[in-house]
A and B are shown apart, each in its own frame.
Chain A
Amino acid sequence: MKKLSLLFGVSLLATFSVSADIDRGLEIAEETQRRDSGFGDYAVSGTMILEGPGGFTSERKFKMYTIEVPDDGDKRLVNFLEPRDLAGMVSLTYSHGLEPDDQWIYMPALRRTKRLAARDKSGSFAGSELSFEDIGTWEVKKYTYKYIKDELLDGKPTFVVENIPAYPYSSYKMIKEWVDQEIYHPLRLLYHDINGQPLKEMHFYDYQKFAGKYWRPMKMVMTNLKTGAVSTIIWSDYEFGADFTASDLSPAALRRWSK
């Protein structure tokens, strides 16, 4: 009987402990959201350098525009500038937490705006190691969270949190995240494939504060742990408060963005 009571007590403690870890994980995610909300909109220029396993490299340049949508996912437009065969192509994504995103692409050669089926977001973004799921805007409800521990990463104190996708068509089983304890933004993401095996990792560098409040990285490096292929994005020219309207970032207006 004593043994049974002890077992019951340990199980109860473990349950409380797991529950506490989940609450703590959610608290960290909600604090991240709270600190980053209210930006309205922003634009940023990106240079993406793709490195294949053989050392062969290729570069893409693009401009990205994001509108914050408080009660839904954000709207994000990517306008490709280079290489020449991608120049003028524009993609637009309406992110929707647990529902499939809405996605369109404008193809300048055909002068055609084409709707894409975007339930499965595992496709490569412009030939890079990043998928459409990776470049989508983050929201609290897209994951459930479990706090693991505090850990130093490159000398910075971080919370280590497991993000378990709530989206039923996610291509990941879990994403382990190292959250900077000072600014509440990720410093490292370790993506586990649907079988739970580490697949790729993203490192974030050189966070800077814009508009007095919003931290954004100046560099992101995604490494495919299976192939060794690396995709690096250098960010520049962040511009907050450009006052885009919903109709600016609508499928009907995509052609206007194509340059």
Chain B
Amino acid sequence: MGKSYVSILLVFFMLVLHSMANGATFKGEIEGRYYNYAKAPLFSEQSDRQGQYSLATTLDYNDQINRNTDINVSIFGRYHPEADNAYQGDVRELKLSYYAAQLEISGGMLMERWGVLEAFSPVDILNPRDRIEDFQGDVKLGIPGGNLSWLLDDGRVDIWLLPYSREERLAEGKDRFRTSAFAVSDAAFEKGQNTLSSAMRISQMSASVEFSLSYYNGHARSPYFTPNLDGVGNVITLQSNYARIEQAGFELLWVRGQSLVKLESVYRSTAADDFTGLGIGLEREFPRIGSTRNALTLYGEYYYDGRKSGRSSPLTPFQNDIFLGLRLALNNLSSTEYELRFTHDLDYDSTFWELLAKTRIQRQWFIEVNLYQFVHVDNDPALKSFAADSRLAVNVTLGF
């Protein structure tokens, strides 16, 4: 385990001791996960162990220092002996916030989420993704910076200054869910990793409509790759490159009866090219099915990404895709939920299925079963490297 992880843990346990003394909130989770892969891996370096396990923890600390000031810390770590780096961790949030009337000022390691869509948010740009934890990008890495917010009765205005750009965390070597057969060399940032990035977002709502406008100027959060060649033209490694971008985003959410109509759109400009991305969606909720307490939510979304294949095109799984989802919450004493998600690429006819079931088995114990299934992905540039990564995962979690 690296010295940085030890330092993080030491600082965190000092905070825990402090929380015990002054009544701050401390909570955490310890998770044991078992993975079973149906097929042998695609790349020779990848671990070929069919059954794998890992142990992870998430620790959250919140201290209300006074009525106007609080501190939030969230750290994560995982031990996975079959991974390329057996120990992975991140400070997802370490934020000191000051509230003055309708102003909020925060600084430290920030975690933000923009967007209204379910499967993927094209507008969500501030934090890089942890694609080892989740290849779909739902899990993100903390980003250092400051945030000034002006809270209105019906909206908010936010400004972020981010002095440092982090790399996306990608699966490599022994890891499953690798995006390429080649190793990825150190990242290159177009304007240098310490160049300031900035963002602004204005959100407004009325009774049935919410919308946001955003602007980001900084390094892309996903890289594009260029090959590093040997003397005879063979690829040795891939260079990950983070282009400087400007991105304007628009989000719209419209409440129509028991349905939500959603739209996200981005226009991104780089030195190499410009493109438009779009996602539209419909969500319908049935809060009670018949005489039961079961609630059903249905999702339908379509995504378009206008990037042409080329130097500046990171692999994106949402270029001309539909997503359909179903979530069934039993609303029973154990908070049991089932979820089925289906993503289909209309260009390559590839499909990704995800099935999720979770329930509470004791007051503080939870179990979650998660199945990934890739179908006909061999021709899909974004998914073909996951062709052998269909798997079942079972998580048992203790919350405290």
Binding site for B on A (CB under 8 A): 50, 52, 56-59, 83-88, 96, 99-100, 102, 110-112, 115-117, 119-124, 127, 131-132, 171, 226, 245-247, 250-253, 256, 259
Contacts and interface: CB of A to CB of B under 8 A. Distances in A.
A122 B332 contact: no
B207 A99 contact: yes
Given A247-B151, A250-B151, A256-B99, A85 B360 contact: yes
Nearest to B334: A58
B331 A252 contact: no
A98 to B, nearest CB: 13
B99 A117 contact: no
Chain A interface mostly helix, strand, loop or mixed?
Answer: loop
B378 to A, nearest CB: 32
A50 B27 CA distance: 24
A117 B285 contact: yes
Nearest to A193: B291
Contacts of A259: 25, 62
B293 A111 contact: no
A117 B291 CA distance: 20
A135 B38 CA distance: 47
Contact of A252 (B155, B285, B333, B363): B155
Contacts of A56: 333
Interface stretch (B39-47, B168-176, B257-265, B314-322): B257-265
Given A122-B288, A251-B205, A86 B260 contact: no
Contacts of A111: 111-113
A123 B286 CA distance: 8
- Greatest chain B CB density within 10 A among A110, A132, A252, A256 is at A252
- Greatest chain A CB density within 10 A among B97, B285, B293 is at B293
Contacts of A84: 27, 29, 363-364, 366, 399-400
Interface string B145-187: 0000101111110000000000000000000000000000000
A87 B335 contact: no
Contacts of A252: 149, 151-152, 155-156, 203
A124 B293 CA distance: 6
Given A57-B333, A102-B207, A127-B333, A117 B258 contact: yes
27 contacts: A57-B333, A58-B360, A59-B363, A83-B360, A84-B399, A84-B400, A87-B399, A88-B27, A88-B60, A96-B207, A102-B255, A110-B113, A111-B113, A117-B257, A117-B259, A117-B285, A119-B257, A120-B287, A121-B287, A124-B288, A124-B331, A247-B153, A252-B203, A256-B97, A256-B99, A256-B104, A259-B25
Interface of B: 25, 27, 29, 60, 62, 70, 97, 99, 102, 104, 111-113, 116, 138, 149, 151-156, 203, 205, 207, 210, 253, 255-260, 283-288, 291, 293, 295, 331-335, 360, 363-364, 366, 399-400
A103 to B, nearest CB: 9
A95 to B, nearest CB: 12
B138 A119 contact: no
A83 to B, nearest CB: 6
A-B residue pairs, 9 tightest by C-beta:
A123-B287, A84-B399, A252-B156, A58-B333, A124-B331, A124-B293, A122-B288, A247-B151, A246-B153
A115 B97 CA distance: 25
Contact of B258 (A119, A131, A132, A253): A119
Contact of A123 (B60, B205, B288, B335): B288
A41 to B, nearest CB: 15
Contact of B113 (A102, A112, A127, A132): A112
A56 B260 CA distance: 36
A53 to B, nearest CB: 10
A127 B293 CA distance: 8
A25 B60 CA distance: 51
Contacts of A85: 335, 360, 366, 399
Contacts of A115: 116, 210, 253, 255, 260
Contacts of A132: 287
Contacts of A112: 113
Contact of A127 (B102, B284, B332, B363): B332
Nearest to A56: B333
Contacts of B255: 100, 102, 115, 117
B385 to A, nearest CB: 26
